[in-house]
Amino acid sequence: MPMSKICHFFLLLFLLCNIPISVKAQLKPTKTEAVVTFIFTNPMTKEPVGGKKFVLEGQKNKKELYLETDKEGKAASLVPIDDIYAVHLDNWQRFASVTIPKGEYQRHEIPVPFYEMPKDGSALLIDIPVHIRLINSDNKPSNLVEELTIRSGTSRKTHRVTTDSNGRAALDLPIGCEYMLNLKGAPNYYKFEIPNKPYAAWTEDVLFERKLGMDKYPSIHRALFNFVFQDLDGNLTEGETFWLISKKDGTRYEGVTNAYGIAQILVPLDDVYVLNATYNLNFGEKEVVLDQESDIVVETIVYESVTSKAWRARQKKQELLAARRDSIAVAEELRQAKELDSLRKLNLEEKLIQELIRKNQPIPIKRTFKIRKAVKAKVAIIEEQLKVNPNYFVDEGKPILATLQRFKESWKGKVVVTDITQSMNPYLEEVLIWHLLNLKQGEHTKYLFFNDGDQKMASAKKIGATGGIYDCEGAWEELPLVINTMHLAIERGLGGGEPPENDLEAVLKGIQQRQDIEEVVLIADSYSRVRDMELLSQIDIPIRIILCGAEEKNSFYQVLKPDINEEYLTIAHRTKGSIHTLRQDILNLSEKKEGEIVEIGAHRYILRNKQFIKLDD
């Protein structure tokens, strides 16, 4: 927040004079020219300053008049009206300025306090009138009655003065000194200097306001962050936590909103800070430095979102939905296992697989080793279907295949990162089908399968080191390698564990393993939360997210309504990526502005603080 600093080199008093004097008697004003008389006086001795040469320069006409004071310290001239004139001394350009308004037959006397500085450059020990004015952000008097403590940086002497009802105070201070201004609750608030020059007076405007709920103030050493939290209905909210992380040394600075919805945080200057809220990590960065026009730094951030309580309720709801999907998947898996076990005894397992292929039902990847043959059989059928129906994947409710088909020309050779936890069982065959359906001889695709930590307990899952990530790079003829890697990831996982998944850890590993990668395809459960959102700031390439569970019809999870966790929209927005469902491709999320709304299926999401929030939750 810039401070307004105004320096008066001397007091210019514009006086209409009716008393004739000898100098002015020689000059007569006209309708277009005024008589202006400058009177130079030494304020310390009260003696006139004679023989002082100076130049008067008009702003409009650029005409220069060369004047010199007489023994009475006076110099007079006729000047055109309606102009502003700069006074130049031989060693001080624009020593002062004089405004001559419109009007006929004007006479003006301009007192000019002037004294010479010591020729040896030493300080001149003289006090001059100093006027302190407290102003508000509209550059108007703040009307605050405040006790000001002003400490000299040279003598360490302390001066105290109280402002009047217009926020003004006056005192005498020596020139050639720096001063620190303190107010109640605002130590080291403001610093100013009166240089060692022949000033007759000095005025300092200080921006200072007191507002309800704000009891902290910036200083010459610290910047002030004001976070104002309000919910989506505009209600100010208490108890919301914000914190800043220094990029210089990693120090955390925290604040909690008060009854006015305000959290104030003081931080050292000359640093860059990462902004965080409890449910929105790394939502921005701010550099805090004093620029040439500023004396203090105040950053006010109006943060509009749902409350932490509402976020917790949303997450609980999402976890319940994810758990229901897991339970449905587990029940179906157990049913298939029981059926497969009984059929194996009769050597009829292959017959069951053929029946699933005929009905276009998911292959039980976790329970059969006849996957390769089944996938090839499905691919043969699909190739024929696509010849007569280009929308076959959409009609059959296959979100992964439908999306990859739409982008098969632009997504070649990408790294494909896939969630293979319990709820993703009915979708996993689509990855394998795509591998055979679209890769050509000699082409390779990098695959990563993640199961959220193998068999780790939740307490052992550390952000960025949860594990359970398995990768391979396969050509068209290496389908068995892809199948075996997927199978290994499935078998070493716990079938899902708790709902949040380590999506971004897997994405980062994919990026690290392939240096030439330009974007990542992430296949994820649209119901699941992302465990490691704080890793998002480390990703600097687009993530193309295919969401499973957002499709309108789903024969496997038909008892559940489609849903999308808003975290995936935030990931796509911040990485300049995209969101893909069975029917929709949202490619311009990164271009969305604060307050814009995105519609996906039956849901609406609003962008606030670089984070999407579902409106109909």
pLDDT digits (tens, 9 = 90+) for 423-464: 888 898 899 898 888 765 556 788 999 998 887 887 788 999
- 127-207 and 15-113 share a CATH fold: yes
Q: Which strands make up the sheet holding 53-58, listed edge to edge?
A: 64-68, 53-58, 83-89, 92-100
Q: Which of the residue ranges 9-13, 47-51, 64-68 would you say has the lowest mean pLDDT?
A: 9-13
For the chain, the domains span 15-113, 127-207, 231-305, 381-614
Half-sphere exposure for 64 (CA within 13 Å, toward CB): 7
Q: Which of the residue ranges 77-91, 119-133, 246-260, 281-295 would you say has the lowest mean pLDDT?
A: 119-133
pLDDT band for 17, please (50, 70, 90 cuts). Answer: very low
pLDDT digits (tens, 9 = 90+) for 148-189: 999 998 778 999 999 999 999 999 998 889 999 999 999 999
pLDDT digits (tens, 9 = 90+) for 327-356: 888 888 788 778 777 766 667 667 777 777
Tell which residue, 457, 471, 472, 549, has the closest CA to residue 505: 471
pLDDT digits (tens, 9 = 90+) for 266-295: 999 999 999 999 999 999 999 999 876 677
Residue corresponding to tokens 């296992």: 337
Do residues 472 and 449 touch, judged by C-beta distance below 8 A? no
First to last CA, the chain: 38
CATH H superfamily, domain 127-207: Carboxypeptidase-like, regulatory domain (2.60.40.1120)
- Whole-number Å distance between alpha carbons of 456 and 450: 13
Statement: residue 518 has pLDDT above 50: yes
In a 3-state reduction of DSSP, which class is residue 216? Answer: coil
- Whole-number Å distance between alpha carbons of 24 and 205: 37
Statement: residue 489 has pLDDT above 50: yes
- The domain over range 15-113 is classified in CATH as 2.60.40.1120: yes
pLDDT digits (tens, 9 = 90+) for 178-231: 999 999 999 999 999 998 877 767 889 999 999 999 999 999 999 999 999 999
Supply angle C-alpha 124, 130, 135, rounded to 5: 145
- Whole-number Å distance between alpha carbons of 17 and 74: 14
- Whole-number Å distance between alpha carbons of 127 and 202: 11
- Backbone dihedral angles phi then psi of residue 453, each to the nearest 5 degrees: 95, 20
Q: How far is CA 85 from the centre of its chain?
A: 46
Q: Which residues contact 508 (CB under 8 A, 6 or more apart)?
A: 464, 535, 538, 539
pTM: 0.77
